[in-house]
Structure 1
Amino acid sequence: MTRVLAVSTVFPPHRYMQHEITEDLVSGLPPGSDGQLVRRLHAAAGVESRHLALPLDRYRDLGTFGESNRVFVELATTLGAEAVERALDEAGVRPEDVDLIVSTTVTGIATPSLEARLAARTGLRPDVKRAPLFGLGCSAGAAGLARVHDFLDGRPGSTALLLSTELCSLTLQRSDTSMANLVAGSLFGDGVAALVAVGSDPSRTPSRTASRRSGTSVPTSGTSLPTVVAARSRLYPGSEHLLGWDIGDWGFRLVLGPELPELVRLHVSEEVESFLAGHDLKPADVTAWICHPGGPRILDALADELGLPDSALAASRRALAAHGNLSSASVLHILKDTQNDQPPPGSTGLMIAFGPGFSSELVLLAW
């Protein structure tokens, strides 16, 4: 089994209440646009505040896609390095002990990829294995953890890092009044998360380490964080047109079909039940639901179809309210938040995320 030792989250320093973002976007709409529609969408999004990569007044100065992407690379590298260093410190793992780093993003393009840019800065070995992922969208946090599990399952003496870096605000098209873009403007925030995991070899669990930040001894959290039991990826044919990017001179334009909540109702609940049944489990056996907060309608559909109590998705709704939808970083943030509630030993957790394809990613966890 894959053992999670630590999860860290980092947010840009610019935090705004939802109404501040709403009014800024309304003030920049093209003439004749429906500002009241924007206000209604924002009010119904379940979001109270968000962190943004830049101060609000900077976004109007961003011109071309190239300019926005240069900002992405600069900020993503800085924030990603901070998240990696925090996670390693909290795990009690030396950077030179990391054998694999999986990095994921869908909000910017970088070649060399982000993990290559921060490797030397964070002390990773020059021969560290790298697996940059792009295009998995909001599902990539769960998919990345699954790929880490695949690697460690075959290499029980190894250590792996997962880095999710999403600066969604840099993709917003301020002049686009399509429903998909207006919905995106109501939901998405910016954030970074990193996770450290080791294989089943007990000798790979550090007991204490000297923090590079403070020089003091830091205990590892490996005994209280979960293990990964299994994972499943699934594509739903015929739904490729419902979620993704339309990429052009303007940059990334969101493709978001209104049918997505219905797809969750039709397919994902059955997928969840089938996956759990393969491990002699039912939805009622799951203590910790770590569900990507794609929006209130997605969470409502999932809860309804699985017959979950209101408390089951409380962590996802809290994350959505406090930070918005962080794309792939959301499930890692929710995993960290779930751990603060200290699930008792023997608890079962299920991580669920959705992405382009249309696709779902499931990761079974055990405490």
Structure 2
Amino acid sequence: MSRIVAVAPVLPKYSYAQSDITAELSDLITQDAKKRAVLARFHSSAGIGTRHTVLPLEQYRDLTSFGDANDIWIREGTDLAARAVTAALATAGLTAEDVDYLFFTSVTGIAAPSIDARLVPILGLRRNVKRLPSFGLGCVAGAAGLARLHDYLLGHPREIAVLVSVELCSLTLQRDDDSVANYVASGLFGDGAAAVVVAGAERAAELGLPGPDILGSRTVLYPDSESVIGWDIGGTGFRIVLTAAVSETIDANIENDVSGLLADHDVERDQVTAWIAHPGGPRVLEAFEKGLSLERSDLAASWKSLDAVGNLSSSSVLHVLADMFVQPAGSHGVLFALGPGVTSEYVLLRWAA
């Protein structure tokens, strides 16, 4: 079993109350007073107190092209990624030269060479480090990235793997888009990043660091759901696709998915004491609670993260993992998220003695 030995969540320095963000963005999205009132209602019901942005709020008025936004994503995203990886390695007592495998994910910008390649000289990673950049998994990528690191480390038990997620959702803002999807997205998503260090079983035993072991994972792609959530990508950049069917998809599937994962590893439902859920929004968290027969308190860390920073796409579930990283020895947890496809990923954890 591989072991998660460090998690480092990071945020941009600019932070604003949800009401201040609403006031600033309303002018950019619609000039219609009635529609602005509707937008404000969506923002106020998002369960968010504050969000972080990679730029000062007033600078988004001047950000009018996809090219300019993507240039900022590369520059600022690289900086946030470097901060996150540096902090995670320091927590684990490791150096950049110890990293054998680097998995990078983002769905809010594009670059070739990708940000992970840019990290090699900045951090002093080995020139032969194995890299895998990922685009398109969206919010599920934090969970899926952990699962893929575990898959890799099963075959390389002496190695160190790092997952780094960077999501600068504010740079995808669509002006003059008065769709309900844009109203919801402009009030829900925030900017942030995270890095996770995972050690293969033999290396974890040598390091002797505390943390949850990854027992296994389950990936599910739901049929006929490609239009439920995602991006339409065009001349103005990333235009959100978001429908009410997200919660319906959760309701219809999550219980069977989690039960299947637990059964695969002979774990009983009452053995799971840590539920590490992607804070996708109030309706998503409520659907998780309903589908798994959980109490609000079971997802308290996810609700807290949503209030504090909003939905950080793939970084969100990793921020929740950081908040829940310390658990009693021997306890089990399920980390889970969903994203475009619609696809979901479930990761079964057990805290080492």
TM-score bin (small chain): over 0.9
Q: Which amino acid aligns with 2:274?
A: A
Going from structure 1 to structure 2, the CA distance change for 1:282 and 1:38 (only over 3 Å counts) comes to farther
Q: Which residue number in structure 1 is paired with residue 55 of structure 2? A: 54
- 2:227 partner SS: helix
Which one of 278, 296, 307 corresponds to residue 293 of structure 2? 307
Displacement of 1:204 in angstroms is 6.4
Cα deviations across residues 273-321 of structure 1 (Å, max 9, x unaligned)?
2211222234332111110011111111111121112211001000000
Q: Which residue number in structure 1 is paired with residue 155 of structure 2? A: 154
Displacement of 1:324 in angstroms is 0.2
Going from structure 1 to structure 2, the CA distance change for 1:204 and 1:129 (only over 3 Å counts) comes to farther
Q: Which residue number in structure 1 is paired with residue 24 of structure 2? A: 24
- How far apart are the structure 2 equivalents of 1:165 and 1:98? 19
Counterpart contact for 1:17–1:49, Cα < 8 Å: yes
Going from structure 1 to structure 2, the CA distance change for 1:188 and 1:203 (only over 3 Å counts) comes to closer
Q: Which residue number in structure 1 is paired with residue 327 of structure 2? A: 343
Going from structure 1 to structure 2, the CA distance change for 1:189 and 1:74 (only over 3 Å counts) comes to same
Counterpart contact for 1:283–1:306, Cα < 8 Å: no
Q: Which amino acid aligns with 1:50?
A: R
- How far apart are the structure 1 equivalents of 2:31 and 2:194? 38
Mapping 1:1-367, distance limit 5 Å: 1-32=1-32, 34-202=35-203, 205-206=206-207, 222-223=209-210, 225-339=211-325, 342-367=326-351
- How far apart are the structure 1 equivalents of 2:296 and 2:252? 21
- 1:201 partner SS: helix
Displacement of 1:154 in angstroms is 0.8
Alpha carbon RMSD of aligned pairs, Å?
1.2
Counterpart contact for 1:157–1:204, Cα < 8 Å: no
- How far apart are the structure 2 equivalents of 1:48 and 1:282? 36
- 1:93 partner SS: coil
List structure 1 segments (4+ residues) > 3 angstroms apart after TM superposition. Answer: 202-207
Cα deviations across residues 238-285 of structure 1 (Å, max 9, x unaligned)?
001111110000100000111111110011222112211222234332
- 1:297 partner SS: helix
- How far apart are the structure 2 equivalents of 1:323 and 1:187? 9
- How far apart are the structure 1 equivalents of 2:206 and 2:212? 13
- How far apart are the structure 1 equivalents of 2:270 and 2:46? 28
Displacement of 1:165 in angstroms is 0.4
Q: Which amino acid aligns with 1:53?
A: V
- How far apart are the structure 1 equivalents of 2:64 and 2:264? 51
Displacement of 1:22 in angstroms is 0.9
Q: Which amino acid aligns with 1:290?
A: I
Displacement of 1:202 in angstroms is 4.5
Q: Which amino acid aligns with 1:239?
A: S
TM-score (normalizing by structure 1): 0.93
Cα deviations across residues 86-105 of structure 1 (Å, max 9, x unaligned)?
11111111211111000000
Aligned length: 350
Going from structure 1 to structure 2, the CA distance change for 1:282 and 1:206 (only over 3 Å counts) comes to closer
Q: Which amino acid aligns with 1:7?
A: V
Counterpart contact for 1:77–1:117, Cα < 8 Å: yes
- 2:224 partner SS: coil
Identity over the aligned pairs, expressed in percent? 49
Counterpart contact for 2:30–2:36, Cα < 8 Å: no
- How far apart are the structure 2 equivalents of 1:274 and 1:30? 46
Displacement of 1:118 in angstroms is 1.1
Q: Which amino acid aligns with 1:366?
A: R
- How far apart are the structure 1 equivalents of 2:232 and 2:304? 30
- How far apart are the structure 2 equivalents of 1:153 and 1:92? 22
Counterpart contact for 1:4–1:228, Cα < 8 Å: yes
- How far apart are the structure 2 equivalents of 1:304 and 1:237? 22
Counterpart contact for 2:254–2:292, Cα < 8 Å: no
- How far apart are the structure 1 equivalents of 2:203 and 2:84? 25
Cα deviations across residues 9-60 of structure 1 (Å, max 9, x unaligned)?
1110000011110111123333325111111111110110010010000001
Displacement of 1:111 in angstroms is 0.7
Gaps of 5+ in 2: none
TM-score (normalizing by structure 2): 0.97
Counterpart contact for 2:88–2:197, Cα < 8 Å: yes
- How far apart are the structure 2 equivalents of 1:121 and 1:132? 17
Going from structure 1 to structure 2, the CA distance change for 1:100 and 1:109 (only over 3 Å counts) comes to same
- How far apart are the structure 2 equivalents of 1:284 and 1:300? 20
Going from structure 1 to structure 2, the CA distance change for 1:244 and 1:29 (only over 3 Å counts) comes to closer
- How far apart are the structure 1 equivalents of 2:203 and 2:64? 52
- How far apart are the structure 1 equivalents of 2:205 and 2:121? 23
- How far apart are the structure 1 equivalents of 2:266 and 2:13? 44
- How far apart are the structure 2 equivalents of 1:48 and 1:325? 12
- 2:42 partner SS: helix
